Amino acid sequence: MTSARFDVLGIGNAIIDVLARTEDDFLIKRGLAKGSMQLISEADSEALYHDMGPATLISGGSAANTIVGVSSFGGKAAFIGKVRNDAAGEAFAHDIRAAGVHFPTQAATEGKATAKCMILITPDGERTMNTFLGTCQDLGPQDVDADCVKAAQITYLEGYLWDPPAAKQAFVKAADIAHQAGRKVALTLSDSFCVDRYRDEFLDLINGGTVDILFANMHELRSLYATADLDTAVAALRRKGLLAVVTCSEQGALVVEEAGVQSCPAVPVERVVDTTGAGDLYAAGFLFGLSQGRAALDCARLGALAASEVISHIGARPDRNLRDLATAEGLLGH
């Protein structure tokens, strides 16, 4: 196997996040399930944008946030995701490249606009996401850069890719290329509602060996195994023989392997400002550590640190250099 040009390659939805603070009453009035992610039309997206309060625009997307986090740790990172050649698409491409990420995907010259996610943040820091997928739905097998996949130690895929059929094909193609090159494939389940939609297909990916590394929060894992009991779900996952991380909010996370389950505490924060991106940045720290050959529990500590940084401010990408932060905390050498 040739040496890796990239530590982690992410493939996912290229989205501009539109973040605004709101009250619970705003969600109730519009029938929005707090803490959920729902897909909306472009017209609904524009209407919600009109009604929501003052907003901050930041480049986002689950896997893209993770990849920016990997780069912030000092990792060699790349991302594949589809944008349109509009103002939002140009902003996304600029931001991810400015973060030190290789971004080879060509912008679409026609069709739907660049995707946007309206993120409503309640006073408790919980986020409710309303996503217009736009042109990122058009990501397909033709956008998978085979050389890029072969050159990455780990290819990281987001569960949200399972919604559009062409993106699903891109997902499978990338996983096949990675495995043929002797590389690893990681999957994040993304959202419990996403798991509800594609439970059997996600289980097939896990049971069939398409996925080597799995990320899920406790709600997603319980949904995956259709049980209210987390221990039951963890036991079922452990039997699959892959490496998995189950995040449990302020209770920390579980590192699940066939040999056993280890727990890693959360890093406390003075105040939770915005939970957007907590799971994404946890994955960033874990994947970075894994790409550097670190033990799973050490990887989890890096993930916990990155998650604590991102929930302490608005937005799903780190405000501080994560390598400097991890070095200061004694988790990385100078």
Backbone dihedral angles phi then psi of residue 276, each to the nearest 5 degrees = -55, 125
pLDDT of amino acid 315: 80
Other C-beta atoms lying within 10 Å of the C-beta of residue 83:
30
Q: Does the domain at residues 6-14+61-112+136-328 carry the CATH identifier 3.20.20.70?
A: no
Q: What is the pLDDT of residue 63?
A: 96
Cα separation of 97 and 101, whole Å?
5
The reported pLDDT for the residue numbered 157 is: 96
Output the pLDDT for position 2.
64
Domain boundaries, the chain: 6-14+61-112+136-328
The ranges of the chain with pLDDT < 70 are 1-2, 334
With contact defined as beta carbons under 8 Å apart, do 205 and 198 qualify?
A: no
pLDDT score for 3: 79
Where does 81-132 show beta strands of DSSP type E? 115-121, 127-132
The per-residue pLDDT for 304 is: 97
Q: Would you state the pLDDT for residue 1?
A: 53
- Give me the helices (H) in 12-61, please: 24-29, 42-51
Contact 82, 105 (CB under 8 A): yes
